[in-house]
Amino acid sequence: MPNILKNTSAKVIEFRCLEQNVASINIALKSGASLVDTIPDFAFANNTMQQLNIYRVGL
């Protein structure tokens, strides 16, 4: 466990990634996070309306 997480009472880490942001999604998945929710039509990026994917991993 990274040092930054040793002195916290946090129970989860949450990642929020636009659906086409593959690099961020890969980081979330490599950390062990799972997709728990989506927010449709969250932002317009890359000429497309994108949903926001929410990933969580317990500590």
Specify the pLDDT at position 59. Answer: 84
Q: What is the pLDDT of residues 16-58, one digit of tens each?
A: 999 999 999 999 999 999 999 999 999 999 899 999 999 999 9
15 pLDDT above the threshold of 90: yes
Q: How far apart are CA 1 and CA 50, in angstroms?
A: 33
The values of phi and psi at residue 27, to 5°, are: -65, -45
Within-domain flag for 54: yes
Q: Which pair of tokens denotes residue 6? A: 């040793």
Specify the pLDDT at position 48. Answer: 94
Within-domain flag for 4: no
Specify the pLDDT at position 39. Answer: 98
Within-domain flag for 33: yes
According to the 3-state scheme, what is the secondary structure of 6-40? HCCCCCEEEEEEECCCHHHHHHHHHCCCEEEEEEE
Specify the pLDDT at position 1. Answer: 57
Q: Which domain holds residue 27?
A: 10-58
> How many domains in the chain?
1
For the entire predicted model, the pTM comes to 0.86
Per the DSSP assignment, residues forming a β-bridge with 37 are: 54
Within-domain flag for 5: no
